[in-house]
Structure 1
């Protein structure tokens, strides 16, 4: 989000908090203010805080639903922690009217975390042997 603020402006960028930092507005403001030297005030950011759920690393029902919907309708793979929450935030923004149908919208897919909870458990079991 921080890298998009300088060229696009805070009114055009919507961030979705996934729970990785305690103060996302301040963190993004500091990241965005560094490269360009332009000060970005935390209160000017469009930031959704409603997708954190039980906290970082714990998938949410909304992220799981967004993950399934996006895979089935668009063929895009999302992970349940970052991109799944980001898509859930975008869907919620459309439902809330913050993003208007017909408005040009870009979803920045930053990559997928390939390790699932099943893979982690299998890895733990393998290391115990």
Structure 2
């Protein structure tokens, strides 16, 4: 009987602490915290992500080639985009194949012949 009363008192104390914590959070949000949250929400606008084919050599250079191979000519970027068809997944696979070929043959700079050979290898023609 004594244990049950002790448990009831403990449960009531926990509920009271929980209610106080909720009240503190609510008052903070209702005051300056609410304004800060609204201001933050105004600054963060909805974003839209569009995943589409790589349409230009500049996109190919910026997103696939330059981060991986450094400086690459526009002719090489054009050949790369044509060989992968502007497809992101194919572009990344072609970049992997080019990197493996360059490492195996100790080639330092990516050029259109490496891209053509890697594309032929991927297509099963080499």
TM-score, with length taken from structure 2: 0.25
More strand by share: 1
Which protein is bigger by CA-based radius of gyration? 2
More helix by share: 2
TM-score, with length taken from structure 1: 0.25
